[in-house]
Amino acid sequence: MSDASDGCAQPRTVTEAEVDALVRGICFKTGPPRRLGVEVEWLVHDLRDPRLPVSPERLAAAHAAVRTVPLRSALTVEPGGQLELSSPPAASLMECVGTVAADLDAVRAVLRRDGLVLAGLGHDPWRTPPRFLREPRYDAMEDCLDRGGPAGRAMMRASASVQVCLDAGYEEPGPLGHVRRWWLAHRLGPVLVAVFANSPFADGRPTGWLSTRQLRWEQIGTGRAGGPALDTDPRAAWARHVLDSPVMCVRDDGGPWQVPRDLTFREWIRTSAPRPPTREDLDYHATTLFPPVRPRGHLELRMIDAQPGDDGWIVPLAVTTALFDDPEATETAYRAVKPLAERTHGLPAPHNALWRDAARVGLADPELREVAACCFAAALRALPRLGAGREVVDAVEAYRDRYVARGRCPADDLLETLRATAGGRPRHHSPHGKDTPS
């Protein structure tokens, strides 16, 4: 969901107290839950054979052509050449679906003329592409993440997701209050990981995880991809997290950006080295933190793999919206996920056993399967109350019957094609979901 950061006319340094106040005021903007959005990321593959690499020149030409198309959603390019559409804030689920679906149709038509297709996969099954974007931000990000191993590069270049954006909620307590919604997002998160896992391959082989994308986020580590401890004050928890998280880079308009080691934003304020941090540095620092739930005025749920098919993204958007914005469904989901908290052992998401089990085995986990079934039933009851069209309700119902009721997820379909293919390497999928033998 596109949003703009507040800025200052003149850069000035910030104190710890100012950071705490700014983060509390900016990241949780409370009010009635009435706006939502979605950010859909896609891998870009060759239309005839997605196993073939797409050259940077071909990607650049395709991106330039897409940018000539009038869109209501914001179009951005990710470091590996993935395309992302970020919807404008919508007043209803159907408004959001209609806007993004129309924009995707326009984008696909342009790409198809160039022999390319948007691929709904959480992680590229065949390769980690070379970095497409050469910008100071991504140079610094890659240098920083490389210190922890190859997972960072895979996340930057080979992953794609469906990110659902929801209002933070009411200031007051209750099912739609911001404290409850913050807690629910973290406890429902692993259920969404398990239900929509769609990335069992990397480098042409099974990884042993149904959501390899989520595995990569865990491997990046707690400082960059972890969330704060859950307590009764989300604002205070997030403010501490922002201050105590490592700085990815110190920007420099006149040269390469510095990538410090083990420098938290709090330490940067206290030492003023290599230079005092400004309000703009704080705003930027917050964009370099990648927890599964990120507060940006609204709540950004980042744990869902990109989905198969042209319209697969609609199901996680609809289900998540229903479970957060319909009071009855929210209460049902809250009660259903509450017992899952014991499996986290008090550790923040996603670096705990519950999130790992969700990404590794999905709905083969009996407890996650039971909770998912309860949540889908609640969502299906709620969607008509939220004005969802028959086609959206039917899509959610079909997904429940095909996957949730059977303890499966899209990754299981991909693994079945592997077992049916001699040589043990994944088949590739057409944009219409039909398998083509390797």
**Phi, psi (deg, nearest 5) at residue 231:** -140, -170
Confidence bin at 423 (pLDDT 50/70/90): low
Helix (H, G, I), strand (E, B) or coil at 57: helix
Compute the distance between CA of residue 270 and CA of residue 264 in angstroms, rounded to an integer. Answer: 10
What digits encode the pLDDT tens for the residues 390-421?
Answer: 999 999 999 999 999 999 999 999 999 877 77
Are 194 and 406 spatial neighbours (Cβ–Cβ below 8 Å)? no
Residues linked to residue 344 through DSSP beta bridges, in sequence order: none
In this structure, are strands 428-429 and 298-305 parallel, antiparallel, or unpaired? unpaired
Helix (H, G, I), strand (E, B) or coil at 97: helix
Q: How far is CA 382 from CA 58, 104, 106, in A?
A: 44, 26, 31
Compute the distance between CA of residue 96 and CA of residue 18 in angstroms, rounded to an integer. Answer: 35
Considering only CA atoms, which of 187, 350, 221, 245 is closest in space to residue 19? 245
Cis amide prior to 274 (ω within 30 degrees): yes
Average pLDDT over residues 274-300: 96
Average pLDDT, the chain: 93
> Which range is least confidently modeled, 2-11, 106-115, 149-158?
2-11
Q: For tokens 């039933």, name the residue.
A: 377
**Number of Cβ atoms within 10 Å of the Cβ of 222:** 15
Confidence bin at 2 (pLDDT 50/70/90): very low
Average pLDDT over residues 192-209: 97
Considering only CA atoms, which of 303, 257, 268, 276 is closest in space to residue 138? 257
pTM: 0.93
